[in-house]
Amino acid sequence: MTTGQNRTKRATQSDVAALAGVSTAVVSAVISSKPGKTIRVGKEAEKRVREAMETLGYAPNVVAQSLAGGKRNIIGVFTYEAIFPSDSENFFYPFLLGIERGAMQLGQDLLLFTSSSFEQGPRSIFPNGANRMGVADGAILLGEEPDKSELKQLYDTGFPFVTIGRRDTKDADLNWVAADYTTAVSDVVDRCASNGHRTLKFVGATKVREQNMDREAGFLNKQGNGLTLSVERLAADDIDANWLQKCLDDGNTVVLTETFKHAVALEQQVLARHGNIPETISIVALAAPLNRSKDVERWTRISVPREEMGELAVRNLISQIRTPGHTAITATLPCGFVPGTTLTKI
Amino acid sequence: MTTGQNRTKRATQSDVAALAGVSTAVVSAVISSKPGKTIRVGKEAEKRVREAMETLGYAPNVVAQSLAGGKRNIIGVFTYEAIFPSDSENFFYPFLLGIERGAMQLGQDLLLFTSSSFEQGPRSIFPNGANRMGVADGAILLGEEPDKSELKQLYDTGFPFVTIGRRDTKDADLNWVAADYTTAVSDVVDRCASNGHRTLKFVGATKVREQNMDREAGFLNKQGNGLTLSVERLAADDIDANWLQKCLDDGNTVVLTETFKHAVALEQQVLARHGNIPETISIVALAAPLNRSKDVERWTRISVPREEMGELAVRNLISQIRTPGHTAITATLPCGFVPGTTLTKI
DNA sequence: TCAGATTGATTATGCGTATAATCATCTCGG
DNA sequence: CCGAGATGATTATACGCATAATCAATCTGA
């Protein structure tokens, strides 16, 4: 083993400045060489500074940069749940994939806020009142937020952020990137109709958030045109033999399920009465699990452009950071329709 | 939409201090009321300060706290490849899971270095000469590194880091967390022996790195004791009918495969000659893919404690950061043996 | 030729907090 | 009644960086 590492404190701007024989202001200017700068640096000095940085292994202290109001090229990623869940179904993953791609392209590093431990209750953006995210230039918020007032609070601080998924708040003008569920579901209804279906049922989750509203709206948009549409919101467990019987009695030939659980529950009931999908009744899954297991492939379903959403969220966040103060950026990305074997012609 | 964001600055310690009629030092002391403090606060003053904090909605600025405390509470995660690969097999994931857990417990945020885009060639720790990771307090290095000299270079800068996977370098004293492949493979040999196997073959990857050496060593450790052990390193593609024939002719009753590809290739050859696993020959997979598909479960194999490795890497990194200058921390975690159906008694 | 523009750099200051160094009282035993 | 110790609070400074305010030197053109 060698003598050990050079344990003197990390090099600072002053160290670099001293070695290069210039002032710290010059070093600072070299690091963040922006166009309309109040302080200019000559070729020669810049070279010396860069050499000094290299020999000292200097890297700016982001925390100090933050305090002083500089740019860090770091964007935060905040989730209310653990970002790397241990159970198989990793909801965040496809988004992260897109986020990483976007970050790479724009030269940003990704800061995951894992520090705000959620020993008691869920994570909070403001654990003991402080916004832990301040070190980043802005943040992308992922997943369900239990506390919408936190969004308002964050908004009020002026910290730039983009949520993935639409967020409506009366008193805040939020940036978000969302999937166009409305159009996607309308499209599904059209496809069903052109397959001969006339009586369709939408079965949704009981917890109603923005995206659930959108799906329902996309469904009900298609009211008329000789179609009979009904909406029902219930827990997947409530889909039992009786429910199915009534559903069939009402003449429904296709059910649009908002969650995969509902789809599976429905199929089970059909199988239980020795029926078949799609012969007994067709199903279109408006949401499907992420892992590409064989069992998912057979479902006729909607696909959500998660990677694209993540990538776009980064781009929009950067726009918001670069030119702050203007109106919110919102984006809606089209979903895909994935043909399977659970929707039939009649 | 409202008029826009509340752009009035957040309340600071000074504001609170002014309102409470005390100095900022008192406010600071009230906030972080630690035991052996150099500055004391009276009951009365504390009460006024708390009231002032309440009415002003004061929240400490974490960034400033960090700066003043000289800590960033940020640990970096560096990978030479994209950390969120799009192909199904996500090598990093289980490690990240453990890393997040460790970071949470220790109040650290995670900085993923996605900015050093690798358009030309692999990522580098030192793009344009500067250590990109300096923004963090330390870092965890994940995955294969093509350039071992970079590790030495990083080591020389005094930047604290821990690699996941053993790293041997003559002229550097590195911190690492690794799986105990040696013991694990020795253990496999023992189990085979107690199942009646006497002639065993180790089939390994051609690319030999530290962990491959460890596995081989664990295997050869068991030389003697009436066992006939042979080691062969070849590409999975080179496992053909001839190779299998020779393997059987040599009297081998079990093969330890270092990669899953080798295991699959071997099984294919067995099936091709209308044999069966484990009747024709037993296989123990020393490495298995991560996704818990059914096909993995049937293999008798070694499991690597990836999550624990990630978590421990964080702990050790923090130790290294908090008490710098002492000798390197290395850790070896035991692997598990997972019984499957590909190893039989004879 | 010389005032104004341009270039290259310095000095001074602020960001919000933590804390070491002080200082002013008050208490109390002898 | 006095000095030692305890108590409560202030002042000063550092953390590392960005940048506004300046300043000196050089260049430009009429």
Q: Which chain B residue's Cα is nearest to A294? A: B293
Share the mean pLDDT of chain A. Answer: 88
B59 assigned to some structural domain: yes
Same domain, A320 and A240: no
* Lowest model confidence (mean pLDDT) among A103-112, A280-289, B52-61: B52-61
CA dist., res. A321 & res. A324, Å (int): 5
CA dist., res. A254 & res. A268, Å (int): 15
Contacts of B324 in chain A (CB under 8 A): 5, 7
* pLDDT score for A1: 37
B344 assigned to some structural domain: no
Residue A33: pLDDT band by 50, 70, 90 thresholds?
A: low
Same domain, A121 and A211: no
| Cβ-count burial A29-40 (b if 16+ within 10 Å, e if not) | bbbeeeeeeeee
A65 assigned to some structural domain: no
Same domain, B165 and B187: no
Say what percent of chain A tops pLDDT 90: 58
Same domain, A21 and A100: no
A29 assigned to some structural domain: yes
* pLDDT score for B6: 42
In whole angstroms, C30 C1' to B40 CA is 29
CA dist., res. A256 & res. A204, Å (int): 8
Asked if A115 lies within 8 A of B73 by C-beta distance, the reply is: yes
Same domain, A171 and A211: no
Which are the contacts of A198, defined by CB distance < 8 A and separation ≥ 6?
A226, A227, A228, A251, A253
Same domain, B172 and B287: no
* pLDDT score for B15: 92
CA dist., res. A318 & res. A321, Å (int): 5
Same domain, B191 and B299: yes
A6 assigned to some structural domain: no
Same domain, B185 and B91: no
Q: Is the pLDDT of residue A179 over 60?
A: yes
Same domain, B192 and B215: yes
CA dist., res. B9 & res. A155, Å (int): 13
> What CATH code is carried by the domain that includes residue A40?
1.10.260
List the alpha helices (DSSP H) in A135-259: 148-157, 181-194, 210-220, 241-249
Question: Tell me: the pLDDT tens digits for A117-157?
Answer: 655 567 788 776 667 788 898 999 998 776 788 888 888 88
Q: Which residues pair with B333 in a beta bridge?
A: B179
Tokens 């190779």 belong to which residue?
B243
Same domain, A175 and A312: yes
Asked if B304 and B179 count as a contact pair (C-beta separation under 8 A), the reply is yes
> What CATH code is carried by the domain that includes residue B225?
3.40.50.2300
Which of the listed residues B50, B69, B88 is the one where a domain comes to its end?
B69
Same domain, B64 and B94: no
Helix (H) or strand (E) holding A284: strand A282-285
Question: Tell me: the pLDDT tens digits for A67-80?
Answer: 888 788 899 999 98
B8 assigned to some structural domain: no
- Split chain B (346 residues) into runs of 10 and give each run's mean pLDDT: 47 91 91 69 88 87 85 88 73 91 92 72 66 84 80 84 90 92 96 95 92 95 92 94 95 95 94 92 90 79 95 95 82 96 92
Q: Identify whether B278 is preceded by a cis peptide bond (ω within 30 of 0).
A: yes
**Domains in chain A, number:** 3
A293 assigned to some structural domain: yes
Question: Cα–Cα–Cα angle for A259, A260, A264, nearest 5°?
Answer: 125
Instruction: Give how far B102 is from chain A: nearest CA, Å.
Output: 9
Asked if B112 lies within 8 A of A108 by C-beta distance, the reply is: no
* For range A18-28, the mean pLDDT: 92
B230 assigned to some structural domain: yes
Same domain, B23 and B86: no
Asked if B114 lies within 8 A of A108 by C-beta distance, the reply is: yes
Instruction: Tell me which residue range forms the domain holding A100.
Output: 74-179+308-335
> What CATH code is carried by the domain that includes residue B35?
1.10.260.40
Tokens 């250590």 belong to which residue?
B131
Q: Which chain B residue's Cα is nearest to A134? A: B63
Mutation pick from B111, B119, B295 vs chain A, by most beta carbons of A within 10 Å, is B111
